[in-house]
Amino acid sequence: MSRPLLTVILAAGKGTRMRSALPKVLHRIAGRSMLGHVLALAEGVGGGKRAVVIGPGMDDVRAEVQSAASGAAVFVQENQLGTANAVLAARDAIASHTGDLLVLFADTPLITPETIGKLRAELDRGAQVAVLGFEAREPGSYGRLVTGADGALEAIREAKDASAAELQIRLCNSGVMAFRLDQPLAVLDKIGNANAKGEFYLTDAIEIVRAGGGRAGVVVCDEDEVLGVNARGELAQAEAIWQRRARQRVMAEGVTLIAPESVWLSFDTVLGQDVVIEPNVFFGLGVTVDAGAEIKANSYLEGARIGAGARVGPFARLRSGTVLGRDVRVGNFVEIKNSSLGEGAKANHLSYLGDGAVGAKANIGAGTIFCNYDGFFKHKTEIGDGAFVGSNSALVAPVKIGAGAYIGSGSVITKDVAADALALERSAQDERPGWAQKFRIVMARRKASLRK
C-alpha cells in the first residue's frame, strides 16, 4: 500500500429527500459534517491527494472542503449524469496522478480505515479494480455484485437492469471502488449510458477491465458501515451507529460509562483513563477530560478542558473557553463560560461564572454571579488563590478579588478587594419587635370584613 493514492469524493448530490436548505453532505454526525468525516477518512488511509466533486453553486460545500482539508482540490460536475460522469469531473486530478485511485461518497460517512485497507490489499493481490460490497438485509434497489465460481467479480448490475435471477443476489454494491490501472481515464472514457436511466455508471468499469484481461475483486463489509444517508431517518441511524462505535472505543481505552446508551460524544471528544461518566451526559465539540475526572449525570459540555480528578455536575453546563484545573469541583446548576478555575477550586451550587479566572482552592458560594456583560462589552472577573466568595454575591466586572479575601454573603462587589480583606456590601438590618404579630392581626381583621 505504499503506492500514491488519489481519493475522489463525490459530493454533488442535491439531497432533496433531506428537505433542507443545507446541502446533504453538510449535515452533521457527532459534530462533523458527513463530508468532513469522509475527508478525514481519505486523509487517514493514505494521506495522498484528495479531489472533491461538487455540484454547480455549492459554495458552502466548497467552503467546507477548504475548511476541513485545505489541500483538497474541488471540481464541479455541471450535469448530474451518473457516477462515472461525476468521477470524470475530476479528470485533471486523475490525469496528473500516478498510483491508486479510490472513489468515496460524501454521504457514506461510516466506512473505517481498516475496510479501506482491505480494499487496497485486494489490489495488492492482483486486482485492477476492487469493489466494496455488503450482504444486504433487503437488497431492493441496490446494485448486485455478480461473482464467478472463483469468487472474482464479473459484473455489477443495477437493479433496474438486472435479470430476475440477478435480483435474487444478496451481495450488493456500496459504490466504493478502488482502481490500480496504468491509464484509468482510458477505462472511464469507455463507459457508456446504454441503460434504463441513460446515465454513465462507474460500475460498468468492471466489465471493461475484465474485457481487457484484468481482474476485479470484492471486499465485503458490514451493511451498517456503508449506510448511505439520503433522508433524516438515515442521518439519525448513522448518528446512532457512530455513537455506538465511539462508546465502545472509549470504554476499551479505560473510560467508565455507567449507562453507555445515554452518553453522546463528538468526533473530537478526548477522554482520559479512568474517567467516569454518569448517565445523560452530552459532549459538544472541543472537550478534553483528563484522567480520573468524573462527569456526573445530566451535564452538558462543549469547548472545555477538564483537569485530572475534577468532578463536574450533576446538572452542570460548561461552555466554550472553560478550563478546570486538577481536582476542581463544579456542582449542580453551575454554568461556566470562558473562565478558568485553578487547582482545587470549588463552585458547588447554582452559579454563573462568565469571563473570569478563579484561583487555586478558591470557593465560590451558591448563587454567585459574575456580572460580565454591560450590554456592549464583556469584562473579566479575577479571584485570587484561596479567596472565599459568600453565597448570593454579584461580582460586577471588571473586578479583582485578592488572594485569601472574603466576600460577605449577599454582597454586590463593584470595586477591587485587597488580599486577605473582608468586603461587605449590605444595607443595615432593621428589626422591629412585635411587628409581625401586629401585622397578622390587622390583616386577619381586614380579611374578615371582606367576608361580610
Tell me the CATH architecture of domain 5-226: Alpha-Beta Complex (3.90)
What is the C-alpha to C-alpha distance for residues 381 and 270, in angstroms, rounded to an integer?
29
Give the pLDDT of residue 1.
53
Determine the 3-state secondary structure of 144 from DSSP.
strand
Q: Does the annotation mark 349 as catalytic?
A: yes
Taking 70 as the threshold, does the pLDDT of residue 344 lie above it?
Answer: yes
Choosing from 27, 37, 97, 349, the catalytic residue is 349
- Say if residues 427 and 406 touch (Cβ distance below 8 Å): no
pTM attached to this predicted model: 0.92
What sign has the CA pseudo-torsion 41, 174, 188, 182? positive
Burial class (CB in 10 A: 0-12, 13-18, 19+), 57: exposed
pLDDT tens sequence across 237-247:
999 999 999 99
High-pLDDT (> 90) share of the chain, %: 90
Please state the rounded mean pLDDT for residues 350-379.
Answer: 97
What is the C-alpha to C-alpha distance for residues 291 and 309, in angstroms, rounded to an integer?
7
pLDDT tens sequence across 68-87:
998 899 999 999 899 999 99
Tell me the CATH architecture of domain 242-423: 3 Solenoid (2.160)
What is the C-alpha to C-alpha distance for residues 257 and 198, in angstroms, rounded to an integer?
52
The pair phi, psi for residue 122, each rounded to 5°, is -65, -35
Position 196 confidence tier, pLDDT thresholds 50, 70, 90: confident
Please state the rounded mean pLDDT for residues 386-411.
Answer: 98
Domain locations in the chain as residue ranges: 5-226, 242-423
Place of cell 485511485: 101
Place of cell 491508486: 100
The pair phi, psi for residue 136, each rounded to 5°, is -85, 135
Pairing of strands 422-423, 322-324: unpaired
What is the C-alpha to C-alpha distance for residues 229 and 158, in angstroms, rounded to an integer?
19
Torsion region of 303: left, alpha or beta (phi above 0 gives left; psi -120 to 50 gives alpha): left
Please state the rounded mean pLDDT for residues 35-57.
Answer: 94
CB-side exposure of 92: number of CA atoms within 13 Å? 8
